[in-house]
Structure 1
């Protein structure tokens, strides 16, 4: 079952989540699915994205992790498409998007996301969901552009890299950046990295899909994600987030453990926290049904 904590955070009842899950997974007709959605490109920076649902639906934007792309949200987008205009971007350097400029950092990425939402998509605001580094980006984005973020869901993420003294940025980033600069292919380390971050209950087909996805990544995107993760520190910014927030973590996530979800919520001051069983650091794919149901309830009720 899902684990909820109610103090000092907002909560949703498990029963409500089950009802929401039934609605989400039964009503899946008359909309465009992620599978048949074409890749679209926009300006000012060439960001590619996929859509599912109806253009008239409330916009819901998904940000993927380091080991992913716009296709990583298929279970959630296909199920939520009857109710939302679901949009998943390829982060700069990933998928069909253009490479990020040399030295691109978190402020650049946040401003690029803002331009993507307000100029490319011509939206004044949207709901957002981010996994891992995607959740890190959203913490900075919601603090910097509160008028654009109607709500944010932060999955398997942290308030700061190495929070609690877990590790130092250079210990994480330097070997990866050196390998990428030296010509090492993402395919050379994708399997070891994916198998290290998923939970012990992760289905083998999910592992293999994640490995294949990361193997297809470009060095430019992985280098950007590595810099974003290593430089991430939102501890002083979280208190400026004013929109509804859900923090969600896989119970088996050793990279960004459930305690990080509680820390993010505590620093925001009002947020919902949910821990999903039988899932590690790719929670939305390792155990997708309860994640999708929890997102649906949060998006409907803000709790």
Structure 2
């Protein structure tokens, strides 16, 4: 599918009900939502896209990887498929992307579900943020990201760790640096404040710091993921996520 900065890959299927659109994390892809797509397509349309520079989508021709640029990818997909109203589900970076889209197009988003969304990167001290961006621009970027992700992957099964890290290694450095860097300046509080519709955040034990969305956005309901899991909840606990999705979708009209 044609995007604003290149071709975008979309995994689309199922029919009936409000469509559900899934958005993956940094260095992820639509493949990370395979279990949820299979589950939902029994009764409704469900689709997942690969953001620019990720999975099977082309890198951004203009080098633009801000959160709003990723949200434009979501817009290109839903517009291209003629979806007028839908539910957005985002994981990690994808949570920020979904928040940005919902803020810009609130009437089209019937519900917003955030799965262990990224924290507010603006809380990171400027010197530390600059150091991170410098490392992400260096030849040492890959082992640094792997080390940073290690605690979030520690509870995961070996096959989940391998899937996540394989996705990281297959993603271009510019897309990883751009996506992670975008979180340092994106304002999730304002974005979520501009979306008045149903929203819910599921958070893991890892995502409990003062920079977590649930501590910064007063009207964002949040629930703890009550099963053992790492950050990639949909891969670690697919049946739990399927159940959480069903419960949320039952409240959305």
TM-score of Structure 1 vs Structure 2, range by shorter chain: 0.7 to 0.9
**For residue 196 of structure 1, what is the aligned residue in structure 2?**
151
- For residues 165 and 43 of structure 1, the distance between their equivalents in structure 2, rounded to whole angstroms, comes to 34
List aligned pairs for 1:254-269, cutoff 5 A: 256-257=207-208, 260-263=212-215, 266-267=217-218, 269=219
Distance 1:274 1:258, change over 3 A: farther
- For residues 166 and 285 of structure 1, the distance between their equivalents in structure 2, rounded to whole angstroms, comes to 33
Matched, 1:293 2:246: no
**For residue 138 of structure 1, what is the aligned residue in structure 2?**
98
**For residue 79 of structure 1, what is the aligned residue in structure 2?**
39
Contact 1:59 1:85 in 2 (8 A): yes
**For residue 10 of structure 2, what is the aligned residue in structure 1?**
49
Contact 1:170 1:230 in 2 (8 A): no
Deviation at 1:217? 1.4
Distance 1:49 1:258, change over 3 A: farther
Q: RMSD value over aligned CA atoms?
A: 2.7
- For residues 281 and 172 of structure 1, the distance between their equivalents in structure 2, rounded to whole angstroms, comes to 20
- For residues 147 and 109 of structure 2, the distance between their equivalents in structure 1, rounded to whole angstroms, comes to 35
Deviation at 1:43? 4.6
Distance 1:286 1:167, change over 3 A: farther
2:74 pairs with one of 113, 122, 127: 113
Count the aligned residue pairs.
Answer: 250
- For residues 166 and 190 of structure 1, the distance between their equivalents in structure 2, rounded to whole angstroms, comes to 19
List aligned pairs for 1:115-264, cutoff 5 A: 115-118=76-79, 120-158=80-118, 160-161=120-121, 163=123, 168-176=128-136, 178-179=137-138, 182=139, 186=142, 188=143, 191-198=146-153, 200-251=154-205, 253=206, 256-257=207-208, 260-263=212-215
TM-score norm. by structure 2 comes to 0.86
For residues 238-263 of structure 1, what are the alpha-carbon distances to aligned partners after superposition, in whole Å with 9 as ceiling and x for unaligned?
Answer: 22211111101122x2xx33762522
> Stretches of 4+ moved more than 6 A in 1?
164-167
Deviation at 1:68? 1.1
TM-score norm. by structure 1 comes to 0.73
- For residues 148 and 168 of structure 1, the distance between their equivalents in structure 2, rounded to whole angstroms, comes to 37
Distance 1:78 1:190, change over 3 A: farther
Deviation at 1:271? 3.1
Q: Which has the larger radius of gyration?
A: 1
**For residue 61 of structure 1, what is the aligned residue in structure 2?**
21
- For residues 198 and 236 of structure 2, the distance between their equivalents in structure 1, rounded to whole angstroms, comes to 25
Distance 1:167 1:136, change over 3 A: farther
- For residues 257 and 50 of structure 1, the distance between their equivalents in structure 2, rounded to whole angstroms, comes to 32
Distance 1:203 1:145, change over 3 A: same
Query: SS at the partner of 1:151?
Result: strand
**For residue 99 of structure 1, what is the aligned residue in structure 2?**
59
1:280 pairs with one of 225, 230, 236: 230
For structure 2, the residue ranges without an aligned partner over 5 or more in a row are none
- For residues 119 and 156 of structure 2, the distance between their equivalents in structure 1, rounded to whole angstroms, comes to 25
- For residues 167 and 57 of structure 1, the distance between their equivalents in structure 2, rounded to whole angstroms, comes to 48
- For residues 185 and 174 of structure 1, the distance between their equivalents in structure 2, rounded to whole angstroms, comes to 9
